[in-house]
Chain A
């Protein structure tokens, strides 16, 4: 179904704008439609904040992480949404040697009894090389561990575009893009090889890590992937699944999936053959969500310079997918998010651009891919400094975070509660 159905649906919306500053949940404004309620929440992040992510845990608690930058110092903070508002922000880590990037930025995941976070740190050996640092929350000490480098290659190269998923027993699944093969004949002693000697491709790797950052196991999932698009991971009933932008030998960069089934990673395969052949990187990764055997993947593609956001659904854990639904086309610049609600409906977020302006949009689909409703969550900017909106859900409520760059960068948060 095409996005052109939106205006009809939007016309049916009853708009009620209420000032509710005294609301216990710190709701700044509210917009109600026939099928959903959109609330702009207060933000626990100060000005000069950006690179935010929002995540819900199994109890339905909502956690927000973001980065503040002052001079050269970067600080990763987080806060939890409680009935009385946001908790006092706490610091996970800070440093003056971080690699902050609007498309490749820190994350936080929350397990039943543990938390893990990641950020990128410049490696000492290469000016543009960086490592993935992860920290874990020590519940006994009520504090975060020091950051540890999760990949053990010891090669000065690019490592990033991380996806994390909490597992049982306080373990954390992490997938990432790993540039170790892009450096020729590297060893620990000769890690600084000039870039024109580069060889090999960006690889996709994943591992399971314990509470001190030790690798329980680690795999190479694909030996040639797009260099700078986000990876995305989810937990199906079979186990972890990872989606990413592949890179074929003749530069087709479609979205692929690999699944961990019966202790083996499946051969990567396209969720759909867009056939987007492009020699560069679109900096626009896919997003996957899973509940049981239901899997939903949304992504951006632009074959023949025709930008589109698409959605595919699976009822068998990602083994097969439905034909794609076109979520948006024309003016979209992607930056997608995907969640599966308790109702079985799927929400997809993306951005539409109009010159230098942009809109953060959210569409609701039924389990069979029928468009139910589309709302505009917020105005934004097409500028890359506005970053990637991030969504997560609990029950039938979707939480959205993004960065407002009208003035100083400011992390924003909204909540969309669906009635169906």
Chain B
């Protein structure tokens, strides 16, 4: 018996969907990128770094203010502790923005910074637009974003 062309096409499409789904599962960073399409402020923190801790309240506030824009703030544990421990530390430090997994960081192909604190600004395609070393202020970050033409819409709401 001959297989109908429509059945073959359906099977091929189904197979492709499965493959794409598997690929997205393998690369959570990519999945996030396509879902969000956001520029990101990536802040490397450590619990024993006093300047890092001083940045957190400012980053929390800025994260809320940027919520409706095309820029998001995410954090990375500089010390590369296991995921559970990192989340406990982040909670203890009062961090309200997302803490990336090691897999997220690997997917971004971001070089491990050698210095604390370090903050990157990344495009949705994970291109490094800025590498900011040292303690940042809200003013310094907003100035950098502005110089990069960000945020790109009118939804920024200062608290």
Q: Which of A101, A102, A227, A383 contacts B51 (CB 8 A)?
A: A227
Assuming the A-B contacts A128-B48, A198-B50, A307-B114, are A279 and B92 also in contact, with contact meaning beta carbons closer than 8 angstroms in the complex?
A: no
Q: Which of A228, A278, A284 has the most CB of B within 10 A?
A: A228
B116 touches A280 (CB 8 A): yes
Q: Given the known inter-chain contacts A158-B48, A279-B133, A384-B80, please indicate yes or no for A128 contacting B115, CB distance below 8 A.
A: no
Complex interface residues of chain B between 54 and 108 (CB less than 8 A to chain A): 54, 57, 78-81, 92, 106
* Contact between chains at B114 and A198 (CB < 8 Å): no
For A155-181 the 0/1 string (1 means CB < 8 A from B) is: 000100000000000000000000100
Question: Is A196 close to B, CB under 8 A?
Answer: yes
* A36 → B minimal CB distance (Å): 30
B54–A283 touching, CB < 8 Å: no
A281 contacts chain B at the CB level, 8 A cutoff: yes
- List of A residues within 8 angstroms of B115 by Cβ: 278, 280-283
What residue of chain B has the Cβ atom nearest to residue A284's Cβ?
B114
| Neighbouring B residues of A179 by C-beta, 8 Å | 50
In contact, A385 and B81 (Cβ under 8 angstroms): yes
Q: Within A183-197, which residues are at the interface with B (CB < 8 Å)?
A: 195-196
Tell me the A58-102 residues at the B interface (CB within 8 Å): 99, 101-102
Nearest CB in chain B: distance from A131 CB, A: 14
A99-115 vs B, Cβ < 8 Å mask (1 yes, 0 no): 10110100000000000
Q: Is A382 an interface residue (CB 8 A)?
A: yes
- The listed residue (A101, A102, A283) touching B116 by CB distance below 8 A is A283
- The B interface is mostly helix, strand or loop, or mixed, namely loop
Closest to B117 in A: A280
By size class, the interface of chain A is 20 to 34
Contacts of B54 in A (CB 8 A): 195-196, 198
User: Does A333 reach chain B (CB closer than 8 Å)?
Assistant: yes
Chain B contact residues (Cβ within 8 angstroms of A): what range? 20 to 34
Q: Mark B103-132, 1 if CB is under 8 A from A, else 0.
A: 000100000101111100000000000000
B134 and A333: CB pair below 8 A? Answer: no
**Distance in angstroms between the alpha carbons of A293 and B54 in the assembled complex:** 43
Answer whether residue B37 sits at the interface, using C-beta atoms and an 8 A cutoff. Answer: no
| B114 and A228 contact, CB distance less than 8 A | no
Closest Cβ–Cβ distance, residue B7 to chain A (whole Å): 46
Chain B 28-54 residues near chain A, CB threshold 8 A: 47-51, 53-54
Which residues of B have CB within 8 Å of A251?
Answer: 134
**Complex contacts, A128 vs chain B, CB 8 Å:** 47-48, 50, 53
A86–B116 CA distance with the chains assembled, in angstroms: 38
Once the chains bind, are A228 and B134 in contact (CB under 8 Å)?
A: no
A22 adjacent to chain B (CB < 8 Å): no
Once A158-B50, A198-B50, A198-B54 are accepted as A-B contacts, the answer to whether A280 and B80 lie under 8 Å apart by CB is: no
Which of B57, B81, B133 is A278 in contact with, Cβ under 8 Å?
A: B133
Who on chain A is nearest to B106 by CB? A356
Which residue of B has the minimal Cβ distance to A356? Answer: B106
The answer to the question of A206 belonging to the interface, with a C-beta cut-off of 8 Å to chain B, is no
Docked CA distance A333–B113 (Å): 10
Instruction: Please give, as numbers and ranges, the residues of chain B lying within 8 Å of A127 by CB-CB distance.
Output: 92
| Cα of A228 to Cα of B135 in the assembled complex, Å | 14
The answer to whether B80 touches A383 (Cβ under 8 A) is yes
Q: Which residues of A contact B118 (CB under 8 A)?
A: 280
Q: Is A182 an interface residue (CB 8 A)?
A: yes
User: Which residue on chain B has the smallest CB distance to residue A157?
Assistant: B50
Known contacts A127-B92, A196-B54; is-contact A228 B81 (Cβ 8 Å): no
- Given A196-B54, A356-B106, A384-B79, 13 more pairs with CB closer than 8 A: A104-B48, A158-B48, A196-B57, A227-B50, A228-B48, A278-B133, A278-B134, A279-B134, A280-B115, A283-B114, A284-B114, A382-B112, A385-B80
Interface residues of A (CB under 8 A from B): 99, 101-102, 104, 127-128, 158, 179, 182, 195-196, 198, 227-228, 251, 278-284, 302, 307, 333, 356, 382-385
18 A–B contacts from the bound complex (CB under 8 Å):
A127-B92, A196-B57, A228-B116, A278-B115, A278-B133, A278-B134, A279-B134, A279-B135, A280-B116, A280-B117, A281-B51, A283-B114, A284-B114, A302-B114, A356-B106, A384-B78, A385-B79, A385-B80
